[in-house]
Amino acid sequence: MQIGIVGLGKMGGNISVRLTRHGHDVVAYDRDPAVTAKVCGQADGGRCTPATGLADMVGRLSGRKVIWLMLPAGEVTEQAVQELGGLMGKGDIIIDGGNSFYKDDIRRAAELVKKGIDYVDVGTSGGVWGLERGYCMMYGGTNDATDHIDPILSALAPGVGDIPRTPNRDRPGFDPRAEQGYLHCGPAGSGHFVKMVHNGIEYGIMQAFAEGFDVMKSKNSSELPENQRFDLNMADIAEVWRRGSVVSSWLLDLSASALAGNPDLSNYKGDVADSGEGRWTIEAAIEEAVPVPVITASLFTRFRSRTGNNFAEKMLSAMRFGFGGHIEGTNN
């Protein structure tokens, strides 16, 4: 299948390369021509063709044109969608694989359908590891459009792998694609809504790990009675928890790796950014009158981290860099 990929950063480039490894043809574009050339050079079997812009990309695609945007949420994505809406035609498909606000997706889909263009929002999780591990994807759009791009989504998904099957999943009513790591959640906007809540939960889990490690690291404080002080090894604790503990997870794996490399995490300042999804999750909870105290507190902690921080914030920075390559002090 042929597809255009716009935005070849940490995830867009890897998505392009992974698709070529699975036999798909990619037309790739990044505003930096050197990045475009690098990604096409990494692609398999000459299956990646560089484009010089959106109009050039549309011209290089044949049949029912499919273009996947992997751009920062906000004005950059909005401009790209609007431009493509003027270049593409009836039956064509625009995919937003970034972290756009789900209400923007609903609006864009309603505008594009007037031109006969389908819009699919794909919440994409996998960070910088997706090239090898695959991407967990939650997407929204019409059945016609999502069925058409299923070969693309199937190639990007991680597959069943060695994860044991969930009991009772063989009963009617369950989508078999969920076991493969991708799921059609509903109409336009639903994919990014589910991914938004996913990231809100991520905030809370990360905060719990960060606070717990901070409590343990502080157990050797001179403020405590001497017989209650423990000089605990954070790297070893993270490692033992990975082995059969009920809190074992990929985030714990990343924490263990960061602590093994630098137990004091002195390579991090602990200035923790938030990229929007946590805020949007809390806004949705307010609209629905659903209490989310853990997610709310975790977001406020990120605000506080920018005016002074401790070991907990360094743990958060280490996890964010581990799964997504996020640089401190930026939303990237």
**What's the token pair of residue 58?**
């549309």
Cα separation, 241 vs 294, in Å, equals 22
**What's the token pair of residue 201?**
């939960």
**Strand 93-96 relative to strand 66-69, pairing:** parallel
Going from the C-alpha of 104 to that of each of 55, 121, 139, 229, 273, the distances in angstroms are: 23, 10, 14, 52, 22
Start-end of H helices in 114-149:
130-133, 143-148
Cα separation, 272 vs 313, in Å, equals 7
Catalytic pick from 65, 202, 313, 328?
Answer: 202
Check if the beta carbon of residue 325 is closer than 8 Å to that of residue 265: no
Rounded to 5°, the CA angle 282-286-292 comes to: 50
Sign of the alpha-carbon torsion through 199, 124, 85, 55? positive
Cα separation, 319 vs 317, in Å, equals 5
Residue 195 annotated to the active site: yes
Catalytic pick from 65, 195, 217, 314?
Answer: 195
Question: CA nearest 142: which of 99, 184, 192, 102?
Answer: 184
Check if the beta carbon of residue 122 is closer than 8 Å to that of residue 95: yes
Active site residues: 195, 202
